[in-house]
Amino acid sequence: MKTFMEKKETVTRNWYVIDAEGLPLGRVATKAANILRGKHKVTYTPHIDCGDYVIIVNADKVKLTGNKLNDKIYYNHSGYPGGLRERTAKEMIEKYPVEMVERAVKGMIPHNRLGRSISKKLFVYAGSEHKHSAQKPISITID
């Protein structure tokens, strides 16, 4: 018996939409990361980008459990001396909800060339509207 290996020419991709309203950030991010990598398929191959496209809507209504709104800090550095910028999760969810969800998902995919190509299939929107209705995305519920 041979192990099946997917080829990048034979990959079929679907579109999925996840409504993040009232759901914990980590649950949304893990579900999206698994779909982006293709781990939900029986034809999953670790070294091939065999995942699907993911649209996340209502990123501004995502929940954080515990005291993370005040305790969790996001860091950026400009590269210059004294260029460290710190933001709390409360600031991020008010001003930059799309970036917060993107960071959570990108932290769960590989940090290499494959991961960079996988992350291009992620689309996050703060509101409930998205521009990918022509692709007929399949709605996913998270329990």
The residues near 117 (Cβ < 8 Å, ≥ 6 apart) are 49
State which CATH number among 3.90.1180.10, 1.20.810.10, 1.25.40.10, 3.30.300.130 fits the domain covering 15-140.
Answer: 3.90.1180.10
pLDDT at 68: 96
- Tell me the helix, strand and coil percentages in the chain, rounded to 5: 35, 20, 50
- pTM beyond 0.75: the answer is yes
Residue 131: both structure tokens together: 């521009």
pLDDT at 94: 96
* Domain regions of the chain by residue span: 15-140
Per-residue pLDDT tens, the chain, 143 aa: give them: 888 899 999 999 999 999 999 999 999 999 999 999 999 999 999 999 999 999 999 999 999 999 999 999 999 999 999 999 999 999 999 999 999 999 999 999 999 999 999 999 999 999 999 999 999 999 999 98
Per-residue model confidence as pLDDT tens digits over 78-112: 999 999 999 999 999 999 999 999 999 999 999 99
